[in-house]
Amino acid sequence: MYDMLCAGCGHRTAMMMLDEIIKEKKLKEKTILALDVACCSLLIDYVDYDAIMCAHGRVLDVTKGYKIMRQENIVISYMGDGAGYSIGMEEMVHSARRNDDVLAIIINNGLYSMTGGQVAPTNVGTKLCDSPSNGNIGLKIENIISSFPISYLARAALTDKENIDIAKKYIEVAFDKYMKHGGFNLVELLSPCPTNYKLKPIEMVDVINNEWTKVYKIGEFVNNV
């Protein structure tokens, strides 16, 4: 098998962190990875736990159906911002409303990457925008679902060591909450996509740290017991 992810891709970092946590907690035998399509779906060949490749934007529905039947298992709902906030926004809102038992990881890069870098509703830059460019203010999930009685909502960036450590900490908190009392736990990860932004990986990190984080604040937004 060959590596299918681009140089500097955030998926690699995110998946390695998840894998570390799963192996540390010895949860491999209980874990089901529910993946969205496109770049997310490439991860199916990287992991050694049971995995589902869902239809675009339907990860949370599949998660709900699975989890309701097998409470003892851990389902990681892994998707991009297109799936989470665009085509799958309805599922996102209703899953949060129901406070379903969800452990969602959203890889947010503001683009539809697999199809060649078209602008997603989450995009905040204007450099590449050929559709809604000016005044594109992004889509802040904390403004949308934090009114529901969810368990945990946080955002981190997959850029430098400092930020990646924060990201891992948030994912661990989400994991613990999910294991302890269930509920809706979501960690959004601002993720580099150097290929489609046509930047070097190191330049991409600067763009996220300096520009994106002004709109998408890093931190924990909901942390209910």
Binding test (CB under 8 A) with another protein, winner from 5, 50, 146, 179:
50
Q: CB under 8 A: which stretch of 24-32, 120-128, 158-166, 171-179 binds another protein? A: 24-32
E strands, the chain, are 31-35, 50-53, 74-80, 102-108, 111-112, 118-119, 152-157, 184-190, 219-223
Binding test (CB under 8 A) with another protein, winner from 10, 11, 39, 64:
64
Binding test (CB under 8 A) with another protein, winner from 69, 130, 143, 161:
69
- Name the minimum Å distance from CB 183 to another protein: 17
Q: CB under 8 A: which stretch of 48-56, 111-119, 161-169, 210-218 binds another protein? A: 48-56
Whichever of 81 and 91 has its CB closer to another protein, that residue is 91
Q: How far apart are CA 189 and CA 154, in angstroms?
A: 9
Q: Is 22 in the site for another protein (CB under 8 A)?
A: no
Q: Say if residue 74 is exposed, middle or buried (CB neighbours under 10 Å; 0-12, 13-18, 19+).
A: buried
Q: Is 31 in the site for another protein (CB under 8 A)?
A: yes
Q: Is 99 in the site for another protein (CB under 8 A)?
A: no
Q: Which amino acid is at 198?
A: K
Whichever of 49 and 148 has its CB closer to another protein, that residue is 49
CB 99 within 8 A of CB 64: no
Q: CB under 8 A: which stretch of 40-48, 131-139, 174-182, 210-218 binds another protein? A: 40-48
- Name the minimum Å distance from CB 114 to another protein: 12
The count of other CB atoms within 10 Å of the CB of residue 23 is: 11
Q: Nearest 5°: CA angle at 199, between 156 and 163? A: 20
Please give the backbone phi and psi of residue 117, each rounded to the nearest 5 degrees, phi first: 90, 35
The count of other CB atoms within 10 Å of the CB of residue 70 is: 11
Q: How far apart are CA 109 and CA 76, in angstroms?
A: 19
Q: Is 48 in the site for another protein (CB under 8 A)?
A: yes
Q: Is 94 in the site for another protein (CB under 8 A)?
A: yes
Binding test (CB under 8 A) with another protein, winner from 25, 28, 140, 169:
28
Q: Is 73 in the site for another protein (CB under 8 A)?
A: yes
CA distances from 18 to 28, 59, 209 (A): 11, 17, 22
Site residues (CB under 8 A) for another protein?
Answer: 1, 4, 28-32, 34, 41-42, 44-45, 47-55, 58, 61-70, 73, 90-91, 93-94
